[in-house]
Amino acid sequence: MSWHVDPAVMERYARQEVGPADAASIEAHLVDCGACRARLHVDPARLDRLWAGVADVVDEPSRNPVEALLRQLGVRDRTARLVAATPALHMPWLVAMAVTVALAVVAATAGDRGFLFFLVLAPVLPIAGVAAAYGPRVDPMYELTVAAPMPAFELLLLRSTAVLTSTVLLVGVAAIPLAGEGWLMAAWLLPALGLTMATLALSTVMSPIHAGVGLASTWAAVAFLNVRGLAGGDATGDLASRVLAFSPAGQALFLTIAVIGTFVVIQRRETLEIRSNT
């Protein structure tokens, strides 16, 4: 090495008092010059901070799109990570959900029965999502989750809220072309909320997946039996307005179910913390 960094310049470099161009030049020289490296005295505390910063960037956990979006929205890193691990928020599930909703909306624009099909299908989607959000059959890390100090109830609630929100947003946005049907286009919301809370309530006595399948099947069967005896109307929405679930009384019933379901989940949350069977 034919030259060495001037001691005064080196002092200023160590105190971070040189400009970026000079710093880059000195660093390029330091890489190859052991003598100058030996003369460089850096505050050990500062060095530790720098290394910690480098390690933090290198060890930044990989983020899937859901986690990245949640972080953008200001959600705390640990909450975003727990939510993003929800099976019902993984990309294949979301894509399947979007395709289903799109097909249902296309059917809804085709006529009276298609619109009814959309209203009956829409509440099933959050039930399916919540059923696939947490539990021994859907979460590969369930066993570790149960043995950890974080309450299972808190995780279930976090994930269910995320799934319900994402599904409602998805269906809500997709249903914009149906805005001409007035309030009836939103008649699926209270059944969705009521059935989701009922799924969570039943999850305190059986696995969420069994609860979801049972409730979705019951909902579809009751809707089918109700519609079977009704004749189609002339305009879109005629048939739906005569289905019990979408009448004012039906809406009140699902609101009541949602309230009771919430109460049951809170009362029985302890059953989620330790299993009595397999």
Partner 1 sequence: MTTVELAGIEKSFGSTRALDGVDLEVSPGITGLLGRNGAGKTTLLRLVATVLAPDGGRLRVLGHDPGDPDGRLAVRRRLGYFPQEPGYHQNFTAFDFVDYVAILKEMTDRNTRRDEVRRALETVGLTDVMHKKMRKLSGGMRRRVILAQALLGDPALLVLDEPTAGLDPEQRLRFREIVSAIAERHTVLLATHQTEDVAALCDRVAVVDNGSVLFDGPAPALAERASGRVWLSGGPDDGARLSWRTGDGRQRHIGDPPGGADLAEPTIEDGYLLLVGDRALVG
Residues in contact with partner 1 by the rule CB under 8 A: 52, 55-56, 58-59, 61-62, 64, 77-78, 81-82, 85, 139-150, 155, 270, 273-278
Q: How far is the CB of 159 from partner 1 (least distance, A)?
A: 13
Q: 29 CB contacts (<8 Å, ≥6 apart)?
A: 5, 36
Q: Buried b / exposed e across 110-149, counting CB within 10 Å, b at 16+?
A: eebbebbbbbbbbbbbbbbbbbbbbbbebbeeeeebbeee
Nearer to partner 1, 105 or 155 (CB): 155
Report the distance separating Cα 126 and Cα 216, nearest Å.
10
Report the distance separating Cα 219 and Cα 198, nearest Å.
12
Nearer to partner 1, 26 or 89 (CB): 89
Nearer to partner 1, 29 or 90 (CB): 90
Report the distance separating Cα 121 and Cα 178, nearest Å.
15
- Enter the tokens of residue 124: 């099933």
Q: How far is the CB of 267 from partner 1 (least distance, A)?
A: 14
Nearer to partner 1, 139 or 181 (CB): 139
Q: How far is the CB of 268 from partner 1 (least distance, A)?
A: 13
Report the distance separating Cα 18 and Cα 10, nearest Å.
9
Q: How far is the CB of 154 from partner 1 (least distance, A)?
A: 10
Nearer to partner 1, 33 or 142 (CB): 142
Report the distance separating Cα 227 and Cα 230, nearest Å.
5
Q: How far is the CB of 261 from partner 1 (least distance, A)?
A: 22
Nearer to partner 1, 27 or 154 (CB): 154
- Compute the Cα dihedral for 155, 158, 159, 161 and give only its sign: positive
Pick from 118, 122, 111: which is nearest to 233 by CA? Answer: 111
Q: How far is the CB of 150 from partner 1 (least distance, A)?
A: 5
